[in-house]
């Protein structure tokens, strides 16, 4: 093998090395409709999840409550992931940072002895 051709990837069968790789969701364009549907799915997933906690107070049979709760849970899970796909990685990172920041302890600095006196 010649030193110049080494490591270029041109020796692959069919000349596959020169094919430009596409991102997974390159065919999705950023549009206001996509963003609205994504945020709507996020809100609906939270509403469905919160409705689960209202089930014990409804006048229903136990089997119906269990089926309804399972359906609400599965639906909220699916809607949450749909919103993540539609809104993209940036929105997911913002939600993750907000959630992790919510549970992070605030750093409290203790005063030194000189400040107490």
How confident is the model at residue 28, as a pLDDT?
55
The pTM of this model reads 0.61
CB atoms within 10 A of CB 63: 8
Look at residue 61 in the predicted model and tell me its pLDDT.
96
Q: Do 92 and 84 contact (CB within 8 A), yes or no?
A: yes
d(CA 1, CA 59): 78
* CB neighbour list of residue 76: distance below 8 Å, 6 or more residues apart: 44, 45, 46, 48, 49, 52
List, run by run, the mean pLDDT of 10-residue segments along the chain (117 residues): 52 54 57 90 96 95 96 96 91 87 72 63
């Amino acid at each position: 093998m010649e030193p110049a051709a080494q490591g270029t990837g041109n020796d692959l069968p069919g000349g596959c090395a020169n094919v430009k790789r596409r991102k997974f969701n390159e065919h999705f364009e950023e549009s206001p409709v996509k963003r609205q549907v994504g945020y709507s799915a996020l809100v609906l997933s939270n509403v469905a999840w919160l409705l689960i906690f209202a089930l014990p107070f409804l006048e229903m049979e136990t089997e119906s409550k269990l089926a309804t709760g399972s359906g609400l849970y599965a639906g909220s899970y699916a809607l949450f992931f749909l919103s993540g796909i539609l809104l993209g990685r940036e929105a997911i990172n913002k939600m993750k940072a907000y959630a992790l920041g919510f549970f992070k302890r605030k750093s409290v600095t203790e005063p030194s002895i000189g400040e107490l006196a």
